[in-house]
Amino acid sequence: MIKNRICIVGSNGMLGQRIIEFYSGLKNVELFACSFENESFISDVNYLQIDITLQKDVQKLIHQFYPDYIINAAAFTNVDKCESEKELSWKVNVTGVENLVKYGGACDAHLIHISTDYVFDGKNGPYSENDKPNPISSYGRSKLASENILLSNKIKSTIVRTNVLYGPAKHGRPDFVKWVVGSLSANKEIKIVTDQINNPTFLDDLVQGISKLIEFDKKGLYNIGGAEFLSRYDFTQRIADYFNLDKSLIKKIVTSDLNQPAPRPLKSGLINLKAETELGYKPHSIEESLLIISKELIF
Ligand SMILES: NC(=O)c1ccc[n+]([C@@H]2O[C@H](COP(=O)([O-])OP(=O)(O)OC[C@H]3O[C@@H](n4cnc5c(N)ncnc54)[C@H](OP(=O)(O)O)[C@@H]3O)[C@@H](O)[C@H]2O)c1
C-alpha cells in the first residue's frame, strides 16, 4: 500500500492535536508531528521538537521525514501580543513559513497552510476567496504576508482560511466553549461582545475540510468556516442553552469597551461555498458540534 507521508507542524496546538488524532487511526497515512515543546501532547506519534523560525530545525525535519504533505498549524496566535511582540510574531508567522517553503519545496512537498479571516478589515463580511484582504492588526498583516509567500513561490500549496476555532482539544489553553462552560458553571459573570460577527468553526469540520483537500489534491485558496453566522454574544447564549447554564451571567458589551491593543474585524466570517461545492464540505450545526464536544471533554 502506498502511504501518504503527512507532517503536522504545530502539532501541540489546538488544531494540530485534532489533526494528529484524526490521522493517527488511518492505515494509509504515515504521520509525523512537530511542535515547539520538548514532547508531543498526543502520545504514540513520531515527534520532533522544532522551532520553525530556525532554518536548521526545518531542514532537519525535512531530512528526517521527507513529507508528501506538510500541514502548517503553527503560528503566533495571540492577537494582542502580536502588537507588542511584532518582531517575534513576524518571525513565527512569516519567516517560519518561508523556511517551510524553502525546505518543503526542495523535496516537492505540498504545503497546506492555515490562515485567518483577520486578513480582512471586517467592514463588509462575510468574505469569499475573491474578496480583497485589508488587515487591520499586526497579526492579520503577518498572516497575509505568510499567504503571499506561498502565492509567490512555486511550491505546491493550499491556503485555508478559517475563523474562531472551537472543539475538544484536550491539552493547552481552553477554547471558547470550555471557557464559557467553566465560567458559567462556577457562577462567574462573563462579558461578551455583541458586535463581532463571524461563523465559528468546529475543529473537526476544519480537520475534515483539510483531509478532503488532501484527498482531492486541491491547491489554491479555500475558506473553511462554520455552518452559522452569528455574534459572539449569540454564540455564547447557544452554548449556555445547550449546557443548561445560567444565561443571566452573560453580560452584553461592545468591542471598544475592551480597549484591546489589536483592533478586531467586526463584521467578518468566511463564506464556505467553494469548499462545499468542490470538497463536499458540510459543517455541523452548533448544537451538533456541542454534542460531540460534550461526549469528549470533561468540564
Ligand atoms: N484559534 C483560532 O480561533 C484561529 C482562527 C483563525 C485562524 N487560526 C489559525 O489556525 C492555525 C492553528 O491555530 P491554533 O488555534 O491551533 O493555534 P495554537 O493553539 O496557538 O497552536 C499553535 C502551535 O504552534 C506552536 N508554535 C508557536 N511558535 C512556534 C515555532 N516557532 N515553532 C514551532 N511551533 C510553534 C505553538 O507552540 P506554543 O503554544 O508553545 O507557542 C502551538 O503548539 C494558526 O495558523 C492560526 O493562525 C486560528
State the pTM of this model. Answer: 0.98
CA dihedral (36, 39, 42, 48) in degrees, to 10, reads 70
Residue 118 domain flag: yes
225 Cβ neighbours under 8 A, 6+ residues apart: 117, 126, 161, 162, 163, 198, 199, 201, 269, 270, 271, 272, 283
Across 235-274, b (16+ Cβ under 10 Å) vs e yields bbbbbbebbebeeebbeeeebeeeeeebbbbbbbbbbbeb
Inform me whether the pLDDT recorded for 1 exceeds 80: no
Mean pLDDT on 40-68: 97
Residue 232 domain flag: no
pLDDT bin (cut points 50, 70, 90) of residue 298 is low
Determine the pLDDT at residue 299: 60
Q: Is 4 exposed, middle or buried (0-12, 13-18, 19+ CB in 10 A)?
A: middle
Mean pLDDT on 269-275: 98
Determine the pLDDT at residue 3: 85
| Cα 299 to Cα 286: distance, rounded to the nearest angstrom | 18
User: How many domains would you assign to the chain?
Assistant: 1
Q: For residue 218, what are the domain limits?
A: 4-167+200-227+269-283
Q: Can you give the length of the chain in residues?
A: 299
Inform me whether the pLDDT recorded for 35 exceeds 80: yes
Give yes or no for residue 36 CB within 6 A of ligand 1. Answer: yes
pLDDT one-digit tens code per residue, 205-230: 999 999 999 999 999 999 999 999 99
23 Cβ neighbours under 8 A, 6+ residues apart: 6, 8, 29, 31, 211
1 alpha carbon to ligand 1 midpoint, in Å? Answer: 33
Give yes or no for residue 51 CB within 6 A of ligand 1. Answer: yes
Residue with CA nearest ligand 1 atom 11: 73
Mean pLDDT on 149-171: 96
Give yes or no for residue 163 CB within 6 A of ligand 1. Answer: yes
95 alpha carbon to ligand 1 midpoint, in Å? Answer: 15
247 alpha carbon to ligand 1 midpoint, in Å? Answer: 31
Determine the pLDDT at residue 12: 98
Determine the pLDDT at residue 249: 98
Inform me whether the pLDDT recorded for 129 exceeds 80: yes
Residue 1: closest CA among 24, 23, 36, 26: 26
DSSP lists the bridge partners of residue 190 as 250
Residue 299 domain flag: no
Residue 207 domain flag: yes
Give yes or no for residue 73 CB within 6 A of ligand 1. Answer: yes
Percentage of the chain surpassing pLDDT 70? 99
Q: Report the Cα–Cα distance between both ends of the chain, in Å, rounded.
A: 41
**Could you count the other beta carbons within 10 Å of the beta carbon of residue 146?**
27
Candidate of 7, 36, 113 to mutate for ligand 1, largest count of ligand atoms within 8 Å of Cβ: 36
Query: Angle CA(171)–CA(50)–CA(96) in degrees, nearest 5?
Result: 105
Mean pLDDT on 67-90: 98
Residue 172 domain flag: no
Inform me whether the pLDDT recorded for 2 exceeds 80: no
Inform me whether the pLDDT recorded for 156 exceeds 70: yes
Inform me whether the pLDDT recorded for 169 exceeds 90: no
- We report the CATH number of the domain holding residue 31 as 3.40.50.720
Mean pLDDT on 51-59: 98
Residue 180 domain flag: no
Determine the pLDDT at residue 297: 75
Residue 244 domain flag: no
Residue 241 domain flag: no
